[in-house]
Amino acid sequence: MDEDRDDKDAPQPEGLSRRGFIATLGSGAVAAAAAATAVSAAAASPALPDAAELVKVTLTINGRRQRVMVEPRWSLLFVIREQLGLTATKVGCERGECGSCTVLIDGKPRYACKTLAVEAEGADITTLEGLMNGEELGPVQQAFAEEDAFQCGYCTPGQIMAVEGLLRANPNPTLEEVRQGVSGNLCRCGSYALIFKAAHRAAELKKGRTT
């Protein structure tokens, strides 16, 4: 019967109901708490530099000092290619996984995509162009050409730089040491066997042997 109906089912008068009033109070309290937390966090955090603010850095690349204006967030890869026009260093995954962007920093292989340009100031940076003597290929480049150690060739600059870094640290590596030395460089064509041969051939060329 109508007399047994719950009050909550009864028609509500126009305007704000008791339930709506309570809900409004709750949402307002949550919003106020969130705003207070945000203000507190902003006050506690130091001011970050503007990403678009240019800073001057001096990079030593292939023996030449280069003064460039960069954003603090720019990678060494971006500056090498887009600011300085040294395009032998390739853009790959840009996540430090493929090795296409490998350069030498103080003689050691590093991913240029994972290195900020401002981090590299004061270091000795070598790109693939820096391995050449004029128009003459360097020993590792020559070895890769002799052994056909590539297919599509996109990963080749990074592979060469990885081998160059390996041979500077270890002039006579074993096969396993070569495998470890280029393990951070991916070849989607699967030319690893020829890359390993090229590494050993490069070691011979660097020693002046012609076998």
Q: 184-196 burial by CB neighbour count: b if 16+ within 10 A, else e?
A: bbbbeeebbebbb
pLDDT of 51: 56
Among 5-19, 54-68, 153-167, 179-193, the least confident range: 5-19
Residue 4 lies in a domain: no
Same domain, 104 and 154: no
Of residues 87, 122, 127, the one with CA closest to residue 111: 127
Confidence band for 56, pLDDT divided at 50, 70 and 90: very high
Average pLDDT, the chain: 85
Same domain, 52 and 125: yes
Confidence band for 48, pLDDT divided at 50, 70 and 90: very low
Expressed as residue numbers, the domain containing 102 is 46-131
Question: Which CATH number is 142's domain given?
Answer: 1.10.150.120
Given a cut of 60, is residue 33 above it in pLDDT? no
Same domain, 66 and 110: yes
Of residues 126, 159, 127, the one with CA closest to residue 143: 159
94-134 residue pLDDT tens = 999 999 999 999 999 999 999 999 999 999 999 999 999 99
Distance CA 205, CA 169 (A): 16
pTM: 0.74
Same domain, 160 and 187: yes
Confidence band for 40, pLDDT divided at 50, 70 and 90: low
More confident residue, 88 or 18: 88
Residue linked to tokens 């960069």? 70
126-184 residue pLDDT tens = 999 999 999 999 999 999 999 999 999 999 999 999 999 999 999 999 999 999 999 99
Residue 33 lies in a domain: no
Same domain, 111 and 140: no
Q: How many helices (H) and strands (E) does the chain have?
A: 6, 5
Same domain, 74 and 136: no
Same domain, 109 and 164: no
What is the distance, to the nearest Å, from the Cα of residue 98 to the centroid of all Cα atoms in its chain?
Answer: 10
Same domain, 148 and 122: no
Please report, in angstroms and rounded to a whole number, the separation of the first and last CA atoms in the chain: 107
pLDDT of 208: 83
Confidence band for 79, pLDDT divided at 50, 70 and 90: very high
Confidence band for 68, pLDDT divided at 50, 70 and 90: very high
